[in-house]
Amino acid sequence: EGGSYNTFKGTLSSLGKLDKFNYSVALSRIKSDAYSAASEKYGNTENDKYQLDNINSILGYEFSDNFKTDFVIRYNKSNSDLDQSFGSPEFWDDPTYVFDQEEFFIRGQGKLNLADNKWNQKFGITYFSNVREYSFDTSAASAFSSWSKYDGKKYKADWQNDFQFFKNNLITAGVEFEMEEMTSEYYLKSSLYPPDYSSIIPKTDINTIGFFLQDQIKIGESLFGTVGIRLDQNSQFGSAFTYRFAPAYMFWQTGTKLKATFGTGFKAPSLFYLYDPLYGNTELNPEKSLGWDVGVEQFFWSEGFSIGATYFFNKFDDMFGFDPITFQTVNINKAETKGVEVFTKAVLMDGLEAKANYTYTNAKDKSENTPDYDKQLVRRPEHKAGLFLSYSFNELTNANIEFIYVGEREEPDFINYPSRIIMPDYFLINLAAHYDVFSFLRLQGRIENLLDKQYEEIYGYGTAGLSVYGGISLKLE
């Protein structure tokens, strides 16, 4: 596939099975001259290129009907040009700012079925590494130059058991152990403001062991429910108990479904949030939440058309946010989000399908005695809506159109904090189509941002204008 901004995307994949051995392997590259990371509306004109290379593979072996293994390897390598993000956006353009990242994921897992498939087990070991390097203007005479490196690793072992001794009851129990470690280096030099600054964090780690139990039950043909509990023991933040309850009831005579959920959450800050030299904060507390929702969905015409609505409420303590002055991760003492989501999907006529949704969100900072008390949480629009139409002319040809609306959002004014900037709403139209020339050859194309709307998802950051892409997909068996 290729198109606007000198963009190229290529993927080569193969999958198959030979006796008891199966495999799936994919190689891909995405490369683009792209657009300015700092919005062009402020006079930033330098394009920020990027490239991403990916390898993804799964190797499996079936030792018997009851025991199977999988070996998963993923590798990503990317490099991107960036811009600065401090002060006024008119000065964000930086042709020297680059970002390099390497990610490596490897997992071995087994699946064991016992007691005539009434006891299914899945167990595995995972290793993940993420290395990120940032640098800009490393010349000795520059006013500012910087280099930083973050090296993070995660190790995980997990064991899950599914027990289904009764047809309408599935019990899941298991344990997970995860250890995260990182090292970090940061150097900042200035010919105008000596001395130089450096921050070096030696290897730091944190681990969590979690136990979980869940029961999925079906009573008759109408009542469904899920009850789950979890206990986590974090080496730095202690223990946390969370739970979730999710019932649903179906009135088959009228095609009406009632559903609800109620639960709590716990999220410990990552080592990046805690110790990264630029964005970290060692004083962070874990994030805790309580939430519930209730909804109804009505089906018509043999499920060809349905409409539904859900009301939701969430309460957060020590929610993760960011400081608009230092850009560090901080805790928002208390926050609430509530609102309603309305959705519908329908087969309007033979070959024509439609999906639509609208979400109203009231997200407020409830931290008393702070400048942001009772203000809207930043970057949370009150109104979002979408419409997706898909039409299949025949078995070979399909076209679709997508409408996206995002309402106004509030952003911190970095220059005049605690003042805020109102980000304008925006409306996007995307088109896509494909045609199957043969059973093994597909031609495809898409147009994004059809109206060439100039907009910002986040204050000061660039987005793509009118973009056209086309490509082919070839499948051989």
Numbers of helices and strands, H then E, in the chain = 1, 24
Q: Residue 129 is which amino acid?
A: S
Please count the other Cβ atoms lying within 10 Å of the Cβ belonging to residue 426: 19
Overall residue count recorded for the chain in this entry? 477
Residue 191 has pLDDT above 90, yes or no: no
Residue 139 has pLDDT above 80, yes or no: no
Q: What are the backbone dihedrals phi and psi of residue 88, each rounded to the nearest 5 degrees, phi first?
A: -80, 140
What pTM, to 2 d.p., does this model score?
0.91
SS (H, E, C) 20-44: CEEEEEEEEEEEECCCCCECHHHCC
Are 312 and 339 within 8 A, CB to CB?
yes
Please count the other Cβ atoms lying within 10 Å of the Cβ belonging to residue 306: 16
Residue 142 has pLDDT above 70, yes or no: no
Mean pLDDT of 45-62: 97
Token output for 23:
């495999």
Residues 218-246 have pLDDT tens digits of 999 999 999 999 999 999 999 999 999 99
- Per DSSP, the three-state class of 477 is coil
Residues 67-90 have pLDDT tens digits of 999 999 999 999 999 998 877 888
- Beta bridge partners of residue 305, listed in sequence order: 300, 346
Mean pLDDT of 3-12: 98
What percent of the chain lies above the pLDDT cut of 90?
84
Token output for 336:
């609430």
What percent of the chain lies above the pLDDT cut of 70?
99
98 pLDDT tier (thresholds 50, 70, 90): very high
14 pLDDT tier (thresholds 50, 70, 90): very high
Q: Residue 400 is which amino acid?
A: N
Region of poorest pLDDT, from 123-127, 259-263, 304-308: 304-308
Residue 347 has pLDDT above 70, yes or no: yes
Alpha carbon 475 to its chain's center: 29
415 pLDDT tier (thresholds 50, 70, 90): confident
For residues 352 and 392, give the distance between their C-alpha atoms in angstroms, rounded to a whole number.
Answer: 7
Higher pLDDT, 259 or 417: 259
Residue 457 has pLDDT above 60, yes or no: yes
Residue 323 has pLDDT above 90, yes or no: no
Residue 322 has pLDDT above 90, yes or no: no
Token output for 450:
């059809």
419 pLDDT tier (thresholds 50, 70, 90): confident
Are 295 and 308 within 8 A, CB to CB?
yes
For residues 258 and 308, give the distance between their C-alpha atoms in angstroms, rounded to a whole number.
Answer: 10
Are 332 and 318 within 8 A, CB to CB?
yes
Cis peptide before 195 (omega within 30 of 0): yes
Q: In whole numbers, what is the pLDDT of the chain averaged over residues?
A: 94
Residue 152 has pLDDT above 80, yes or no: yes
Are 182 and 270 within 8 A, CB to CB?
no
Q: What are the CA-CA distances from residue 127 to residues 157, 234, 367, 459, 460 (Å)?
A: 9, 19, 38, 36, 36
Mean pLDDT of 341-355: 93
436 pLDDT tier (thresholds 50, 70, 90): very high
Q: What are the backbone dihedrals phi and psi of residue 204, each rounded to the nearest 5 degrees, phi first?
A: -125, 140
197 pLDDT tier (thresholds 50, 70, 90): confident
| Closest C-alpha among 228, 207, 219, 105 to residue 160 | 228
Angle CA 28–93–135, to nearest 5: 60
Higher pLDDT, 277 or 289: 289
Mean pLDDT of 284-309: 92
Token output for 108:
């071995």
Residues 270-283 have pLDDT tens digits of 898 898 877 889 99
Are 52 and 76 within 8 A, CB to CB?
yes
Residue/partner pairs of 273-278 with CB below 8 Å, 24 or more apart: 273/320, 273/329, 274/204, 274/206, 275/182, 275/184, 275/201, 275/204, 276/150, 276/184, 277/148, 277/184, 277/185, 277/186, 277/199, 277/201, 278/148, 278/186, 278/327, 278/328
For residues 26 and 53, give the distance between their C-alpha atoms in angstroms, rounded to a whole number.
Answer: 11
| Closest C-alpha among 314, 439, 426 to residue 377 | 314
